[in-house]
């Protein structure tokens, strides 16, 4: 079968002929892959800055944002059947008995760093015609989400971030609204970055009831203002509005959801985080040496304004279930905005274009099956 293989030692990647996997265990599920999203992590891997093949393999099959259709199930699988759509989780636990996170099924909090990740680190990914995965790592997707479910994995970043946010903000008892009242009502959120992670995070914040501002540069030819307006967020262009001016426009910033990976921007915005505010960091900058920050002001604010900074890496199975539920909500409320996140679709043989070229737009995906 066809798969996208990255050969780090030879510094090349190409479509390879990989043996088609088969069901080995009673809980295995075989999927025909339909779509695989491409993100910054994939681009880093094909620049050989990141990622490792499985032990004994010269290449790593790329891809971690995916949607597949079940074609065969092991004898003990009851939750899925052929014809079902499913999205696999990505991270698998480390083997250390002392890792409370992994032993508790929460490898997104792994202490040892010995976890593996499909399509990234030590395990083949999903840019292949077929994959086999344990049923417990798969999340059933309703058929009506066929066209957008490839966005579930990038949305899990926001899902875990928001779960963490509300757990942390339980320290503010008055933010616990009634059951029918959105938790973010009356609060203001700033999203840094208008890429797929930022826009999906902004949708989640709007769904939670926040007055949501997206602060971003605009890639040429994009209409981020129109897009944000399409789901009830406000767009603030970073080309013409400084961070200080943006903060002036927003007022008390209750939450910042960072989705740029740009540390200098993040710590500049952190200076304007509001009283009792939370700053959620999701981006992973490359290490380029120390940079100056206004440390006295940051520390002073963090103490005097009861601020918290939350770093978050995705994601648990629960975050995937939350993302599937929420993408359904987004799609129902804002079908056009959700659909317009996917700007390019490429067949697997043209994978070089979105990975190594510059396809532009917001989200490129590979259509496989
Ligand atoms: Zn990704
Ligand atoms: Zn672990």
Rounded to whole angstroms, how far apart are CA atoms 306 and 200?
A: 27
Span 2-148+341-367: which CATH code? Answer: 3.90.180.10
Q: What architecture does CATH give domain 155-311?
A: 3-Layer(aba) Sandwich (3.40)
Return residues with CB closer than 5 A to ligand 1 (ion): 39, 41, 65
Q: Chain-wide mean pLDDT for the chain? A: 96
Residue 42 is predicted with a pLDDT of: 96
Domain parsing of the chain, residue ranges: 2-148+341-367, 155-311
Mean pLDDT of 307-318: 96
Kindly give the distance from the C-alpha atom of residue 187 to the centroid of ligand 2, in angstroms, as a whole number.
35
Please measure the distance between the N-terminal and C-terminal CA atoms of the chain and give it in whole angstroms.
12
The ligand that comes nearest to the alpha carbon of residue 62 is: 1
Rounded to whole angstroms, how far apart are CA atoms 333 and 124?
A: 36
Residue 48 has pLDDT above 70, yes or no: yes
Mean pLDDT of 188-215: 97
The ligand that comes nearest to the alpha carbon of residue 104 is: 2
Instruction: Summarize pLDDT for 332-357 with one digit per residue, the tens.
Output: 999 999 999 999 999 999 999 999 87
Band the pLDDT of 207: cuts 50, 70, 90.
very high
Find, among 340, 325, 342, 337, the residue nearest to 87 by Cα: 325
Mean pLDDT of 2-17: 97
The ligand that comes nearest to the alpha carbon of residue 120 is: 1
Residue 360 is predicted with a pLDDT of: 82
Kindly give the distance from the C-alpha atom of residue 43 to the centroid of ligand 1, in angstroms, as a whole number.
10
What is the torsional sign of CA 53, 56, 61, 64? negative
The ligand that comes nearest to the alpha carbon of residue 97 is: 2
What is the torsional sign of CA 33, 35, 40, 43? positive
- Percent over 70 (pLDDT), the chain: 99
Kindly give the distance from the C-alpha atom of residue 293 to the centroid of ligand 2, in angstroms, as a whole number.
32
Strands 273-281 and 308-311: parallel
Residue 234 phi/psi, 5-degree rounding, is -110, 140
What residues contact 29, with CB distance under 8 A and at least 6 apart?
A: 23, 70, 72, 73, 74, 77, 80, 86, 132, 133, 134, 135, 138
The pTM score is 0.96
Residue 174 is predicted with a pLDDT of: 82
Rounded to whole angstroms, how far apart are CA atoms 122 and 89?
A: 15
Kindly give the distance from the C-alpha atom of residue 315 to the centroid of ligand 2, in angstroms, as a whole number.
13
Residue 222 has pLDDT above 90, yes or no: no
Asked whether the bond before 226 is cis by omega within 30 degrees of 0, the reply is no
Residue 227 is predicted with a pLDDT of: 96
Band the pLDDT of 141: cuts 50, 70, 90.
very high
168-172, Cβ contacts within 8 angstroms, sequence gap of 24 or more: 168/278, 168/308, 168/310, 169/278, 172/276
Kindly give the distance from the C-alpha atom of residue 342 to the centroid of ligand 1, in angstroms, as a whole number.
14
Residue 175 has pLDDT above 90, yes or no: no
Instruction: Summarize pLDDT for 263-281 with one digit per residue, the tens.
Output: 999 999 999 999 999 999 9
Band the pLDDT of 221: cuts 50, 70, 90.
confident
Kindly give the distance from the C-alpha atom of residue 66 to the centroid of ligand 1, in angstroms, as a whole number.
10
Instruction: Summarize pLDDT for 90-99 with one digit per residue, the tens.
Output: 999 999 999 9
Residue 177 is predicted with a pLDDT of: 67
């Amino acid at each position: 079968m066809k798969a996208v293989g990255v050969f780090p030692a030879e510094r090349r990647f190409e479509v390879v002929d990989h043996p088609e996997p088969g069901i080995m265990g009673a809980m295995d599920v075989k999927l025909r892959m339909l779509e695989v999203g491409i993100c910054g992590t994939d681009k880093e891997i094909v620049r050989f800055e990141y990622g490792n093949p499985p032990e004994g393999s010269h290449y790593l099959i790329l891809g971690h944002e995916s949607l597949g259709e079940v074609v065969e199930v092991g004898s003990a699988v009851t939750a899925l059947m052929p014809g079902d759509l499913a999205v696999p989780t990505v991270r698998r636990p480390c083997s250390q008995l002392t890792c409370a996170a992994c032993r508790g099924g929460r490898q997104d909090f792994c202490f040892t760093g010995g976890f593996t990740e499909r399509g990234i680190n030590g395990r083949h990914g999903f840019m292949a015609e077929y994959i086999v995965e344990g049923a417990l790592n798969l999340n059933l997707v309703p058929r009506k989400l066929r066209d957008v479910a490839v966005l579930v994995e990038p949305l899990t970043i926001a899902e875990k971030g928001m779960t963490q946010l509300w757990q942390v903000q339980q320290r503010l008892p008055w933010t616990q609204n009634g059951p029918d009242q959105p938790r973010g009502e009356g609060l203001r959120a700033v999203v840094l970055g208008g890429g797929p992670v930022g826009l999906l995070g902004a949708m989640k914040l709007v769904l939670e009831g926040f007055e949501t501002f997206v602060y971003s540069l605009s890639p040429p030819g994009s209409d981020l203002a129109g897009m944000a307006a399409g789901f009830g967020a406000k767009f603030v262009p970073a080309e013409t509005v400084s961070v200080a001016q943006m903060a002036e426009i927003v007022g008390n910033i209750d939450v910042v959801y960072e989705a740029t990976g740009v540390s200098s921007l993040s710590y500049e915005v952190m200076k304007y985080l509001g009283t009792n505010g939370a700053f959620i960091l999701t981006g992973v900058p490359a290490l380029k040496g120390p940079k100056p920050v206004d440390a006295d002001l940051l520390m002073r604010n963090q103490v005097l304004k009861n601020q918290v900074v939350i770093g978050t890496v995705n994601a648990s199975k629960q975050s995937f279930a939350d993302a599937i539920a929420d993408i359904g909500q987004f799609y129902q409320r804002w079908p056009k905005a959700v659909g317009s996140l996917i700007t390019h679709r490429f067949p697997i043989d043209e994978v070089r274009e979105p990975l190594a070229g510059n396809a532009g737009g917001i989200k490129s995906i590979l259509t496989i099956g």
